Amino acid sequence: MSLGVMTLITVLSVMNGFDHEIKTRILQIIPHATLDKSGVDVGSVDTDDSIESWQLLAEKVSDLTNVSAVVPYVEGQGMLTFRGRMQGVGINGILPGEDAIKNSLRPHLIRGQLDDLQAGQYNMLVGRQLARALDVGIGDEVLLTLPDIVVTPAGIYPRVKKLRVSGIFETGAQVDSSIIFVHLTDARKLLRLGQDVSGLRLFFIDPFSLESLVAIRGSIPESYQMTTWQESMRELFAAIKMEKAVVGLLLSAIIGVAAFNIIASLVLMVNEKRTDIAVLRTLGSSAEDISRIFRIQGGLTGFVGVALGVLVGCALALNVSDMLIFLEQNLGFALFDPELYFITQLPSQLHWQDVALVAAFGLLLSLMATWYPARRAGRIPPADALRYK
């Protein structure tokens, strides 16, 4: 029981750590929320009115609680081609001079400079996984095919443009293989938006504060819609949650095995104590009194096992990263190779609700495991047990 509870708490804490690590890395590169026009084609809106409306909305949202920055963006889809290799990507037009963009992108650049994104030069930043998939490096020119066509006397052709790789970033998340960043002006030209933008990117002081999101939703006009990071990455987080649930369910089998051991040990104890049970019955003890003795015995066994497992599991979950670092330093090995993995240590985050759930599950199984042996002990006939004694 102790081993099962300890293992389950530790594994769930490590999975919580991975979940938090992935969310933190993703939030460093993607906006915490986006505002765009719901059901309106931005490209068809008059230029002057559009710019004025976006600026007014940005000023209004900037004054709201928990909003640290509001910057415009342009977004579209395309396909990159380089030496026969093709990859569909999301095109993100940004203003590299904005502080929010600098703070989010610059720490993740492993090659190149953010300042290389100059208007009119058609430079781009690509993720490390995307660079590996296309086998491109700094200075390579990649052909971008846009989901648009050009009608010429020679026929109908897709719109294409050559972009130069000026930087490579790495976050350790799926955005490394699916997003490129270009200057906002270049993105407008590529997507034929004129002076319009696709929407506004919102950065929060605390992106995990749900109260501020509700306040912002109530402050924006009905013609605009807000998409938060929880909604834009819903599939990824749902998969992580499902994985945690499945792993927790599988590891719960260890606690189930421990419960069966409690049943087996109590059944053996009942067989060994048949004579003692018969003596107690002849002295006036009821069947319920005998059953209660074995329920208390099994319950105490489960309680001690769960308590010990919780203590050791919590201590291990809180110190698993330091323990792994100590082992790596003294044994000369690396569990996570920095060249292959985006993390260098085992993350762990202990959630007390997980501890309470595991402890309650262990205690419940322990109490359920005492039912059959206790009932069997209470139904032993005293005469049969003492017949040959």
Give domain limits for the chain.
2-16+236-386, 31-232
- The first and second tokens of residue 306, run together, are 């769960």
Query: In terms of C-beta density within 10 A (0-12 exposed, 13-18 middle, 19 or more buried), how is residue 370 classed?
Result: buried
Identify any residues that bridge with 152 across adjacent strands, giving them in sequence order: 155
Taking the alpha carbons at both ends of the chain, their separation in whole angstroms is 37
pLDDT means over runs of 10, the chain (389 residues): 87 85 75 69 38 66 76 86 88 84 81 86 90 89 83 70 89 79 88 80 76 70 76 77 82 81 82 78 80 85 89 88 77 64 72 89 86 80 63
* CB neighbour list of residue 58: distance below 8 Å, 6 or more residues apart: 70, 72, 200
Q: Closest Cα to residue 17, out of 320, 252, 238?
A: 320
List C-alpha distances in Å: 279 to 192, 229, 373, 382, 386.
Answer: 94, 69, 18, 7, 8
d(C-alpha 223, C-alpha 197), whole Å: 15
Q: Which pairing describes strands 155-169 and 123-127: parallel, antiparallel, or unpaired?
A: parallel
Q: 197-206: b or e for each residue (b if 16 or more CB lie within 10 Å)?
A: bbbbbbbbee
Place of tokens 């994104």: 117
- The first and second tokens of residue 279, run together, are 């003596």
What are the pLDDT digits (tens) for 369-385? 888 888 887 777 776 65
d(C-alpha 160, C-alpha 142), whole Å: 10
pLDDT computed for residue 212 by the predictor: 66
pLDDT computed for residue 38 by the predictor: 55
Query: In terms of C-beta density within 10 A (0-12 exposed, 13-18 middle, 19 or more buried), how is residue 120 classed?
Result: exposed
pLDDT computed for residue 49 by the predictor: 35
d(C-alpha 7, C-alpha 308), whole Å: 12
